Every structure is written in C-alpha cells, then in structure tokens.
Amino acid sequence: MPRADFFRHFGIYAAHGFLERDACRRLVAELSAARRTPAEVYKDNYARGVDERARRTVRVEAPEAVASNMKETLSGLKESLQESFPFALGECEEPEFLVYRAGDFFGPHHDSSQRERISEHLRRRRVSVVLFLNGQSEEPAQGSFGGGSLVFYGLFKDPRAAQVGLPLAPEAGLLVAFPSDLLHEVTPVTHGERYTVVTWFSSGHTDDTEI
C-alpha cells in the first residue's frame, strides 16, 4: 500500500508527525471514553441523517477544551495549505472526531457539492483534512486497526483509469489534505477501532475565485 509521500505526486498534501505519537495516544484515550453518536450524511432529498447503506461510523463528542485546541492547531495549517492548493482559503470548520469500529465504512463520496439546494458550507468547501490518530496492522494489535483504508479515485488523467482507487497507508500522527471535490472512500474496518480528526477549509472569496 502506498505511503503518504507517494500521493504528493497527485497534489495531495501530506505531513508526517503532524501530531506526536504520545499526543495521539492521549487523544485516543480521551475519545474512547467520550459519548458517541451515529455519523450522518446528506441524502438525495438534501436532508441530513443517518444512512448506514452509505456510511457507518460514529462521531465522538470531544471535551470542549480538546475540540478548541484541535481547531486552533488545524487552523494553523492555512498558510501551508495555501501554498499547496490553487484556492484562496478561508477558515476551517469545527473539527469532527470520528471512530470507525469493525464493519464501519464510508462509501465513495465527495466532501463538497455544487447541487443547487445543498447546504452553503458544502458548496464552499475547497480542501479536506484528515488527521490519523492511530495506524493499521494486518493482525489485531493494541491501539491499531485493520482495513479502514483511505482510498482516492480519479488521480490519473487517463479517463480509462477513472475507477482505479489508490489506498493510502495511514500512521499515527499523519495528516493529509486534498481537494474536497476528489472522490474518496474509507474501506470497511476489519478489526480494532480507527480514530481520525477531520475538518474542511472553505473558499476565502465569496465569488469562489481561484488564485
């Protein structure tokens, strides 16, 4: 499975050790004891709700101090991302803390949408950010998970390869960022629990002008 550095050739931002491993372990410990609720999706009728045919995972209600510190940390990425993506970026959304348990997944999807009746914040998303708090292992091991790969589609210019998906090898503390309109998925977790933090940077201009 390709490591994150490989994906830089396709315009995907990667930062190893964005969060130190000890910090990741502490955050996982806090999140493992926090309240969980099923994660939602936007359905075909534009309503937001749970649809386990498309997505099955849970959101964790992180303590207020944890959520605030994480948003401040992720907001600090803006300057670096601005150098890597041809968009004028605004602020990032409130981070979401996600746990994928055995059997959980998120089918192929885009994080942004230009559908007329969709929520405005989805229309303005430009860059998606994923921070991994733990890594994969082939066999069950404490603190790791199996499956749960982040797979990207449409990376090759050849239209014949449009359906080819490339999985990224996650590791604790790795942060990746990619265009929000890039098709991607999370494959089913086979064992353990997959912990991530996600957020999205919106357009910095009301007219969505690229730079």
Report pLDDT digits (tens) over 147-190. 999 999 999 988 888 889 999 999 999 999 999 999 999 999 99
Give me the pLDDT at residue 1, please: 87
Give the C-alpha separation, 178 to 155, whole Å.
Answer: 11
Listed by start position, the domains of the chain span 4-39+54-203
Give the C-alpha separation, 35 to 51, whole Å.
Answer: 20
Q: Which residue has the tokens 């914040």?
A: 121
Residues of the chain with pLDDT under 70: 44-46, 205-211
Q: Tell me which fold the domain 4-39+54-203 belongs to.
A: Jelly Rolls (2.60.120)
Model-level pTM? 0.94
